[in-house]
């Protein structure tokens, strides 16, 4: 059992809260991504799970055992937690060969020579490093180093694997292939994985659930699809995906449908809240047509490959993003139609 439960966890660094009042649960075998802008506390949360930091408040449990208690200041030190940690800098030991880097966790656990050899070989093969076993880390490329770090993590069969922006130092092409390595690894081992990233595409591509963090708090913890389609608040709506958050008035709701006034027009909306206050206008919610009743002027055109992103400014000064296959010149007047955007409540 490796489900992780956090209860009111907080961490303060010399008076400044880095993580505040986090209560949540990561299920056994889940692939979790912690997503947020830099300084949002996601790495601190990961280091709390690993045991490199002690929580200032709250408790962390794995399965049915307490691993850290901020109120008593007691914790299980990281070396006794049986968790894997993949560092952004890979943290391969430069004085050990690839093989020794990978076999070290087994040496620590006092395995026999034969067991160490066979398990190390298995881990090296699984990560495609078989032919590099005798090399030094300095002789490897970035992607290979990352795979060594992953193999080192995999070899000791950890309860949970914690990954701290593991792809941040790699180029774009390598990132895509390493994402496949991580998802394959997750499918094969069924280990609980917690993955810190500031790249939403990465989080969307891999995670079962994403915890979007800001200011030391989890803003929304949901599936990638829900985060995009049903954001809970303005931060999540603006941070995940493209779009504009616009206030809404005069909401009318009945059993089957809901309507509200957005930018002076009455439109159908989609919401679970009793009385939503804002809508999130994503490019999919905006259709360009000559007859569109919302008039807007094209301010900037960006080619995205196969389609264009239009940044338009409406009559009342609101910036709206739309996508089109046809090219428009800057300064052209357009008509836009809004189709059932997601609405949420925000103070």
> What are phi and psi for residue 176, nearest 5 degrees?
-60, -45
Interaction mask 140-179, another protein, x per CB under 8 A: ---------x--xx--x-----x-----------------
Size of site (CB under 8 A) for another protein: 39
Q: Does 85 bind another protein (CB under 8 A)?
A: yes
Q: How many CB atoms lie within 10 A of CB 347?
A: 5
Select from 116, 86, 76, 82 the least CA-distant residue to 99: 116
Residue from 15, 94, 305, 331 in contact with another protein (CB under 8 A): 94
Lookup: tokens for 135: 């090399």
Pick from 77, 128, 130, 264 the residue near another protein by CB under 8 A. 77
* Sign of the CA dihedral with 44 first, then 48, 50, and 52 last: positive
Which region among 74-82, 130-138, 140-148, 321-329 touches another protein (by CB under 8 A)? Answer: 74-82
Least distance to another protein, CB of residue 38, Å: 18
Q: Which stretch binds another protein (CB under 8 A): 8-16, 87-95, 128-136, 237-245?
A: 87-95
Q: Helix or strand or coil: residue 284?
A: helix
CA distance 156 to 223: 29
Which of 139/293 has CB closer to another protein? 139
Q: Count the neighbouring beta carbons within 10 Å of the beta carbon of residue 339.
A: 12
Binding region for another protein (CB under 8 A) out of 37-45, 64-72, 196-204, 318-326: 64-72
Q: Does 117 bind another protein (CB under 8 A)?
A: no
* Nearer to another protein among residue 80 and residue 257 (C-beta): 80
Nearest to 248 by CA among 275, 282, 274, 285: 275
Give the list of residues 6+ apart from residue 242 with CB closer than 8 angstroms, or none: 282, 283, 309, 321
Among 23, 25, 74, 268, binds another protein (CB under 8 A): 74
Q: Which of 10, 19, 31, 81 binds another protein (CB under 8 A)?
A: 81
79 lies in the site for another protein, by CB under 8 A: yes
Residue with smaller CB distance to another protein, 197 or 220: 197
Count of beta carbons in the 10 Å neighbourhood of residue 209: 18
- Which of 239, 246, 244, 234 shows the shortest CA–CA distance to 224? 239
Do 192 and 28 contact (CB within 8 A), yes or no? yes
Which listed range, 4-12, 88-96, 239-247, 260-268, lies at the site for another protein (CB under 8 A)? 88-96
Binding of another protein at residue 82 (CB under 8 A)?
A: yes
Spell out the alpha helix ranges (H) of the chain: 42-50, 98-108, 113-126, 142-154, 172-189, 200-206, 224-229, 234-239
**Per CB under 8 A, does 75 bind another protein?**
yes
> Does residue 330 contact residue 298 with C-beta atoms inside 8 Å?
yes
Closer to another protein by Cβ: residue 84 or 241: 84
- Report whether 7 contacts 21 (CB < 8 A): no
Exactly one of 23, 25, 37, 108 binds another protein (CB under 8 A); that residue is: 108
Residue 102 CB, shortest distance to another protein, in Å, is: 10
- What's the closest the beta carbon of residue 344 comes to another protein, in angstroms? 39
CA distances 29 to 3, 44, 152, 153, 339, Å, are 8, 22, 19, 16, 38
71 contributes a contact to another protein by CB under 8 A: no
Tell me which of 3, 17, 61, 87 binds another protein, using CB under 8 A: 87
Q: How many CB atoms lie within 10 A of CB 188?
A: 10
Based on the shown chain and the rule CB under 8 A, indicate whether residue 78 belongs to the binding site for another protein.
Answer: yes
Residues that bind another protein (CB under 8 A): 50, 52, 54, 65-69, 72-85, 87-89, 91-95, 104-105, 108-109, 149, 152-153, 156, 162
């Amino acid at each position: 059992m490796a489900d992780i439960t956090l209860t009111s966890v907080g961490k303060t660094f010399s008076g400044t809260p880095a993580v505040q009042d986090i209560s949540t649960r990561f299920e056994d075998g889940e692939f979790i991504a912690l997503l947020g802008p830099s300084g949002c506390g996601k790495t601190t949360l990961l280091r709390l799970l690993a045991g490199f930091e002690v929580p200032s408040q709250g408790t962390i449990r794995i399965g049915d055992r307490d691993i850290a208690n901020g109120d008593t200041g007691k914790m299980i030190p990281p070396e006794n937690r049986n968790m894997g940690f993949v560092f952004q800098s890979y943290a391969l030991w430069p004085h050990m060969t690839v093989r020794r880097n990978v076999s070290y966790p087994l040496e620590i656990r006092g395995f026999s020579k034969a067991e160490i050899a066979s398990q190390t070989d298995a881990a090296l093969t699984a990560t495609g490093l078989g032919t590099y076993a005798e090399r030094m880390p300095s002789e490897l490329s970035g992607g290979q180093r990352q795979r060594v770090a992953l193999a080192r993590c995999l070899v000791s069969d950890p309860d949970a694997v914690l990954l701290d922006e593991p792809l941040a130092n790699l180029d774009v092409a390598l990132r895509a292939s390493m994402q496949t390595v991580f998802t394959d690894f997750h499918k094969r081992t069924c280990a609980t994985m917690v993955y810190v990233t500031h790249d939403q595409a990465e989080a969307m591509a891999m995670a079962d659930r994403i915890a979007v963090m800001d200011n030391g708090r989890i803003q929304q913890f949901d599936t990638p699809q829900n985060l995009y389609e049903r954001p809970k608040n303005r931060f999540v709506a603006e941070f995940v995906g493209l779009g504009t958050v616009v206030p809404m008035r005069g909401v009318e709701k009945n059993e089957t449908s809901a309507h509200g006034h957005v930018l002076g027009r009455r439109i159908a909306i989609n919401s679970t809240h009793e009385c939503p206050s804002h809508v999130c206008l994503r490019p999919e919610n905006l259709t360009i047509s000559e007859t569109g009743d919302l008039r807007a002027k094209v301010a900037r055109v960006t080619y995205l490959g196969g389609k264009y992103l239009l940044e338009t400014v409406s009559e009342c000064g609101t910036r709206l993003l739309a996508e089109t296959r046809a090219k428009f010149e800057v300064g052209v007047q357009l008509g836009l139609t809004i189709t059932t955007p997601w609405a949420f409540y925000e103070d």
